[in-house]
Structure 1
Amino acid sequence: MELVEQSDRSRASRVRERRRSRVLSRYAGRPIRLIWRYVARHKVAHAVVLISVISAVGFALASQYGIRNLIDALPHGRAHPETVAYAFAVLVGLILADNLLWRVAGWVSARAFVRVTGDIRQDMFDYLLGHAPSFFADKQPGVLSSRVSATANAVYVIENTVAWTALPPTLTVIGAIFMVATVSLPMSVALVAISALLTACLFWLARKGTSRHEAFANKAASVDGELVDVIGNMGLVRAFSAVNAELRRFDGHLNAEAEARKNSLLYLEKLRLLHALVTTLLSAGVLGWTVWLWTQGRATTGDVVLVGSLGFAILHGSRDVAVAFVDLTQHVARLAEASQTLLTSYSMPEAPKAMPLIVREATVDFHNVSFAYPGRRTVLNDLTLHIQAGERVGLVGPSGAGKSTVLALLQHFYEAGSGCVRISGQDISQVTLESLQAAMSVVPQDVALFHRSLLDNIRYGCPEASEAEVKRACEDASCMDFIAALPDGLNAIAGDRGTKLSGGQRQRIAIARAILKDSPILLLDEATSALDTASEIAIQAALERLMKNRTVIAIAHRLSTLQSFDRIIVMNRGRVVQEGTPAQLALVPGIYRDTLARHSRRAPAHTLN
């Protein structure tokens, strides 16, 4: 019963994930809608921030009235001190309320805005992992990782800019205009017209600079991508004495980014300069108008102070609003660019009604499968292949014959151009990716390890495994000897992509990882290619234990590793040209026998490369 409930919960979770993935793709290049999606998750907190900011601005404006009342009360203050005291107390109360409400807004926003940032980063990473391998093959890892951070950071900056830079002056301008109307309606109308026109002009000019901001966003992401690319291939850089060349190349990218940033910032400064000149002239005009009203006896001294301060607040507020919107335009452009890259629709979305793969018998079938990588010639031509449950099958053939493509299609890294691939009679395009991956253990030629402990790397496919189970897997994979020699043992860090280990050590870690995962189908892609002869003998014994009662598909250029297999399939140009037992193929003219002959003569070309 418990297993059924867990299965139901897992299925419901997958449905939610698929629905969320489809929804997120709708926000690609739509930054405002994307922001609102995450703000809506924390409605109450954002409502508190909004109400607090509105109230704080209201009390700040009201304090201008408080100042006017205090000034007007001063001439008669000696005769009526209670009037001055009352005006003073009201002013102090307004100032106190203003400051307290800002602190409430700041306290709540410190939690809400950070949560929004975390939600976006999590969802962007979650969506990114759902892309097919072909998506990652076309893009630099650094560019993608920088865009995940850029998306979250842009939203954080936008929320803060709206809350603290754009919203307060906007509310101040609106409130101040109404307050000026109580003294002089014509002045209020003039201020409305001038402020609206100025803000509209600056916002229009700001939008015209969007291309400059987007260019800067692209260049910044490109620099991040170059950094990760070079650092990840530092061994290659050193091997070819290319340090100076990479420095020059990176300097070129930095110069391009600096030029794009300069163009973006200078455009913003031109807008700020324009607004500063206009504001100076208008401030002088408002002050002169107010003084003229006073000379006509149509305004009190307090009115002069009130209208003057409010006029300045309106003009400077319109400047702050315009500058804030200019800054927002830049950040929104970065958010749009980053989301456009990350939220590209999946090229291989999971089938809407995908069901978990149920492996009763681990059979593998390729039925009339043809496939070509984008922009390249056909790799597989009408391939039909049946592998029985528990059968050990070796794939051999020259480079480009389609061997690795067979394993890639079996793992559903790509969609077959025609035909279908089945496991245990089920079309793998109609099953959940999680269940498909759980059915297979892979020992690749180029072993990938995380910059984590060996313990974490080995139990990556079986995180619930105990340390004792990990050690048994290491012993079966003949890697416990070198692990025990490390100062930290299983807690030793593997390094970036396993750089602290030799090639042979990495492959033995990968074999231990596959042993621990214990899946019914085992894929071996040159699993012993990086081992010396002594290690290979030890690993062969481990592989024999691992392959027992499993369906095995192995790619091997060392034919010695396939001698115990049930069947050898020889591929050439995407087709099966020979198949049979190792003993049978050794007697039949063809690629297999020719390779055996070269190997026996110890010729340099003793592999099927």
Structure 2
Amino acid sequence: MTDHYEDSDEHRQRVLKNHQVLGFIAGFWLRQPWLLIGTVGLTLVAIGFDLALPWAAGRLVNAVAAGPAHPDPAWRAWAVFVGVYLAFSVIRNLAMRFLIPMSANNMKAMTDEAFRRVQAFSSDWHADTFAGATVRRLSRAMWGYDTVTDAALIWFGPAGVVLLGLCVMMLLRWPVVGLFALCVVVLYVVSNIVLTSLYARPANLRSVALDSRIGGALADSISSNSTVKAFGAEAREDVRIAGVTEMWRKATIRTWSRFTDLWLLHSLVLVGLQAGLSGLLVWEWTKGRANAGDIAFAVTSFMLMTSYLRNIGDNIRMAQRGLDDSEDVARYATTPPQVLDAPAAGGFRADLGEVVFDHVTFRYKSAERPLYDGFSLTIAPGERVALVGPTGSGKSTFVKLIQRLYDVEGGRILIDGQDIAQVTQGSLRRAIAVVPQDPALFHRSLAENIAYARPDATRDEVELAARRARAHDFIARLPNGYATLVGERGVKLSGGERQRVAIARAFLADAPILVLDEATSSLDVETERQVQAAMEELMVGRTTVVIAHRLSTIRGADRILVFDNGRIVEEGRHTDLVNQGGAYARLHAVTEGWA
């Protein structure tokens, strides 16, 4: 699985640059320009009042220094001092009123679009990727956006304006003091950015990858809990999860330690700023170039600069974590789906269900040679065709290609005369009803699971489909009937019950093409008879493709195709093929105990 190797060289090569991830996030800001303008504009106004605070403090100290004989100037200076901070606080709060809806809207949009993107990825991609790890990435990216947005719009921009403004004010009054402050500010910010990127980020990327791996490992074990219990393997799974979390623990300690190292280094820089700024102002005072108000200005400026610099340092580190958390989803946005709709693809027009493979060539990505090489076949409308043959002979691939879960390398596949590569995937797949060997149900009600084939179906239509699938009786016996929740993947139902729900879905879909993929292979004899009776009714009037190892399920097929290494080596009806004494007859001899 891909997620076992998230810390590999291959993964590191796929890591996006910080500016690429930031550009991805900024794209969401620009979708709501008025909220962005309101946030930034009000923040800049608030910054103006913040910059005025040291000046107001200096005026207040000078007014007080004049003595109590002149109280009015002091009270006016006090009112200005309080008013400046009050204005800053109110306007800053108003800016947040614009930021909150912008962030909430964009976090929703990011998650929705990432989920849509992941759903568009191919079956191979999903087979190679832990579902739990993907879920972790999607949810983590949403909060990564929030962290980066707060840092960029609320802290970095305002802090830069305040720090530069204070340095300029000092440069104009005391050039040496201003130059010193400017150098320390530049040193602090640049070293934070460089060291965070080069020293802390590599460790953080590894701990983020291992965080995703924890999600994948937990989901893998929890979703297979019945298997774990069947083998009494709880202790073994405990050890396996503990191994994954132990790797995460070590990586995270390293990450946090590196961020703490940077925090200590930059705290020492702030001590230097405090000592240098206050010392230089005292020196200016000794030379008669600074008064008590100037000292108050310098002290207030230092406190303001220290506050912003600390916030810059913290937010650079937090923003780096947010960028790393969002990196996977940003990469998804630049990864094209492996199977794409054609630019001018139209909807598939379902008709009689004729299927034509026209000189099709297909190779799996990991295979050296094509499985199908110039493969041709025609299935007539309404024909029942059974596919048999050893594992890996091409039976399941045939069905996947009909659904266009993969693209062919050569040739084309036509259904009702339409090239399936030229129609939308969704419309094509809605015309093909699939009843798999192990139906996966959603942890939703039975009614919702049946109606998944056609969400606008009425309750009567859902119940009719269940009756035709021989599912109504067992559903009616449940305490909550059709409202019964079936558990994750339908674990609360037996295999036969899940199969009948899947058949009810197919009835409701009313698609012209039906695929039965080993639909009775895991059922007991009595349940198999019920399911077969339902399937017989379902096949009436539809083009049907049956994949089966139990030959008892395909005796009535119009045509049996025997596959071997992507080729059809025999075809005909059951009796004729048995009498030929070829591959099918040998398979029949081996399996006749089941038939």
For the superposition of Structure 1 and Structure 2, which TM-score range results when normalised by the shorter chain?
Answer: over 0.9
Question: 1:227 is matched with which residue?
Answer: 218
Matched-pair identity in %: 33
SS of the equivalent of 2:371 reads strand
Give the match for residue 454 of structure 2: 462
Structure 1 residues 300 and 255: CA distance shift in structure 2, 3 A: same
Structure 2 letter corresponding to 1:355: G
Instruction: Specify the alignment match of 1:275 in structure 2.
Output: 266
Residue 346 of structure 1 aligns with an amino acid whose one-letter code is P
1:447 aligns with 2:445: no
1:526 aligns with 2:526: no
Q: Distance in 1 between matches of 2:528 and 2:306?
A: 80
Q: What amino acid sits opposite 2:435 in the alignment?
A: V
Matches within 5 A, 1:249-288: 249-288=240-279
Residue matched to 1:177: 167
Q: Does 1:323 align with 2:333?
A: no
Q: Partner of 1:416: helix, strand, or coil? A: coil
Deviation at 1:597, TM superposition (A): 4.2
Q: AA paired with 1:171?
A: V
Match of 1:19 in 2: none
Distance in 2 between the 1:471 and 1:278 partners? Answer: 73
User: Is structure 2 residue 351 aligned with structure 1 residue 351?
Assistant: no
Q: Are the counterparts in 2 of residues 57 and 172 from structure 1 also a CA contact under 8 Å?
A: yes
Number of the residue aligned with 2:3: none
Gaps of at least 5 residues in structure 2 are 1-13
* 2: CA distance, partners of 1:598 / 1:220: 49
Asked if 1:414 corresponds to 2:406, the answer is yes
Residue 133 of structure 1 is matched in structure 2 by 123
Cα-to-partner distance string for 1:239-294 (whole Å, 9 max, x where unaligned): 22322222112111111111111111111111111111122133112112212222
Q: How far off its partner does 1:52 sit?
A: 2.1
Matches within 5 A, 1:59-70: 59-70=49-60
**TM-superposed deviation, 1:74:** 2.0
Q: Which residue in the other structure is 1:11 paired with?
A: none
The question of 1:438 aligning with 2:427 is answered: no
Contact 2:499 2:531 in 1 (8 A): no
- Which whole-Å CA distance do the structure 1 matches of 2:346 and 2:65 have between them? 85
Q: Counterparts of 2:219 and 2:333 in 1: how far apart (Å)? A: 18
Q: Deviations over 1:450-475 (max 9, x none)?
A: 11111111110100001111000000
Measure, in 2, the Cα distance between the counterparts of 1:78 and 1:418. Answer: 95
User: Residues 352, 448 of structure 1: CA spacing in aligned structure 2 closer, same or farther, 3 A cutoff?
Assistant: same
**Aligned residue number for residue 371 of structure 1:** 362
Question: Which deviates more from structure 2 when the two are superposed, residues 335-344 or residues 559-568?
Answer: 335-344
From 384, 387, 392, give the equivalent of 1:392: 384
3-state SS of paired residue (1:399): coil
Measure, in 2, the Cα distance between the counterparts of 1:475 and 1:292: 94
Q: Which residue of 1 aligns with 2:5?
A: none
d(CA) in 2 for partners of 1:106, 1:315? 23
AA at the equivalent of 2:146: Y
Deviation at 1:543, TM superposition (A): 2.0
Residue aligning to 2:237: 246
Contact 1:77 1:83 in 2 (8 A): no
In 1, the alpha carbon distance for the partners of 2:193 and 2:16 equals 24
Matching residue's letter, 1:304? I
Match of 2:452, SS? coil
CA distance in 1, matches of 2:32, 2:424: 32
Q: Distance in 2 between matches of 1:183 and 1:133?
A: 67
State whether residues 507 and 530 of structure 1, in contact with CA within 8 Å, keep that contact through their aligned partners in structure 2.
no
Equivalent residue runs for 1:2-401 within 5 Å: 30-76=20-66, 78-209=68-199, 210-340=201-331, 343-376=334-367, 378-401=370-393
- Partners of 1:370 and 1:379 within 8 A in 2: yes
Which deviates the most, 179-188 or 98-107?
179-188
* Pair 1:573 & 2:550 matched: no
- Structure 1 length normalisation: TM-score? 0.90
Cα displacement (A) at 1:378: 4.1
- Structure 1 residues 205, 75: CA separation in 2 closer, same or farther (over 3 Å shift)? closer
Tell me which moved more, 470-479 or 148-157: 148-157
What is the identity, as a one-letter code, of the residue corresponding to 2:31?
R
- Whole-Å separation in 2 of the counterparts to 1:265 and 1:28: 21
Which has the larger displacement, 371-380 or 213-222?
Answer: 371-380
The 3-state SS of whatever aligns with 1:415 is: coil
1:481-500 deviations in Å (ceiling 9; x for gaps): 11111111111111111111
Q: For 1:370, give the aligned amino acid.
A: T
CA distance in 2, matches of 1:226, 1:26: 22
Once the two structures are TM-superposed, the CA of residue 320 in structure 1 deviates from its matched residue by 3.1
Question: 31-40 vs 320-329, which deviates more?
Answer: 320-329
Aligned residues of 1:396 and 1:403 also touching (Cα < 8 A): yes
User: Match of 1:296, as an amino acid?
Assistant: K
Gaps of 5+ in 1: 1-24
What CA distance in whole angstroms lies between the structure 1 residues aligned with 2:303 and 2:438? 67
Q: Does the Cα contact within 8 Å between 1:363 and 1:388 map onto a contact in 2?
A: yes
8 Å contact from structure 1 (residues 279, 316) kept in 2 = no
Q: Distance in 2 between matches of 1:26 and 1:36?
A: 18
Count of residue pairs brought into register by the alignment? 579
Q: Which shows bigger deviation, 118-127 or 283-292?
A: 283-292
Deviations 1:417-459 (A, max 9, x none): 3322111122211211011111111101121111111111111
